[in-house]
Amino acid sequence: MTRKIFIWVAHPRATSFCSALANAYEDGAAEAGATIRRMDLNAMRFDPHFEGYGPDIPALEPDLLAWQDNIAWADHLLIVHPYWWGAMPARAKAVLDRALISGFGFKYHRRGMGWDKLLTSRTADAILTSDAPTLIDTLLYLKPPRRVIRNQVLKFCGIKPRKVVQFGSVKLSDAAKRTRWIERARDMGRTAA
As a three-state string, the secondary structure of 16-68 is CHHHHHHHHHHHHHHHCCCEEEEEEHHHCCCCCCCCCCCCCCCCCCHHHHHHH
Distance CA 143, CA 40 (A): 25
Confidence at residue 63, expressed as pLDDT on a 0 to 100 scale: 98
**Residue 137: is its pLDDT beyond 90?**
no
Which domains, and CATH codes, for the chain?
4-192 (3.40.50.360)
Region 106-127 average pLDDT: 96
User: Of 166, 162, 191, which Cα lies nearest the Cα of 181?
Assistant: 166
> What's this model's pTM, rounded to 2 decimal places?
0.95
Confidence at residue 138, expressed as pLDDT on a 0 to 100 scale: 84
Confidence at residue 134, expressed as pLDDT on a 0 to 100 scale: 83
